[in-house]
Amino acid sequence: MIDISATTSAKHQVLFSFRSTLYSRFGKRIFDLLLALLLLPVISPVILMLWLIVSCDGGSGFFGHTRTGRNGQEFRCWKIRSMVLDAELTLKDHLASEPVAAREWLRNFKLVDDPRITKFGSFIRKTSLDELPQILNVLKGEMSFVGPRPVTQRELRKYGLSRSAYLATTPGITGLWQVSGRNSASYDERVEFDTRYAQRKSFALDLWIISQTATAVLKQTGQ
């Protein structure tokens, strides 16, 4: 059992020093490449099928959003598109007319009831199938299988002093936040999970998170 119970409030976090282990310097990248190459033949047909389904509305089947990675490097994080074509305008109009939703967006950068998400998009989000194209980000070294979820520059401000924890770690497809009740966790708790992972990352912890991710996917806890 991996002990992940200890926590420190992200609002009062201090600057960290991180252990430099053989796994963090070399092993993690080797593990990512081997796992990606093993999975690629299996998930490529699934990605193609999802792309074809989503493209039926005339838009692109893929969606790439600029995110901040390790050491502040920006990259395009790829997903299967789960939103309507005019998503940004839809969000803007919704937040302008719904004050409660606007406060929720400012607090969490997400909405429980998001008018941009299509019916099929809701399904692939709940099953996390929309994130399958991120295997390409892993192959390029922009992401890892396990790590903090990639954030925008605007979101990074919410990390406060804990931003050093995020910037010291390669963003991941899955992580502690995803397997720890992500839909019920506040943003501050998300920052704490990311900080905790940066301090404790190891091969054993990565394997544990990946095993828990499989359970979370089967339970359709995504959003």
Total residue length of the chain: 223
pLDDT given for residue 147 in this prediction: 95
Q: What range does the domain containing 55 cover?
A: 10-82+117-218
In-domain check, residue 23? yes
Could you tell me if residue 89 is inside a domain? no
In a domain, residue 208? The reply is: yes
* Residue closest to 66 by CA, chosen among 155, 147, 140, 126: 155
- Give a yes or no: residue 173 inside a domain: yes
pLDDT grade for 86, boundaries at 50, 70 and 90? confident
Query: Across 3-12, 158-167, 183-192, which has the greatest mean pLDDT?
Result: 158-167
**Is 109 domain-assigned?**
no
Please report the pLDDT score of residue 219 as a whole number. 67
Q: Which residue has the higher pLDDT, 195 or 3?
A: 195
Does any domain span residue 133?
Answer: yes
Helices (H), 98-202: 99-108, 119-126, 135-140, 153-156, 163-167, 187-200
Residue 69 falls inside a structural domain: yes
The per-residue pLDDT for 9 is: 45
Cβ atoms of 4 and 176 within 8 Å: the answer is yes
Question: Once rounded to an integer, what is the mean pLDDT over residues 23-50?
Answer: 95
The answer to the question of residue 67 being in a domain is yes
Residue-level pLDDT at 7: 45
Tokens of 68: 């901040």
What are the CA-CA distances from residue 112 to residues 122, 126, 217, 223 (Å)? 11, 12, 18, 8
Q: Domain count of the chain?
A: 1
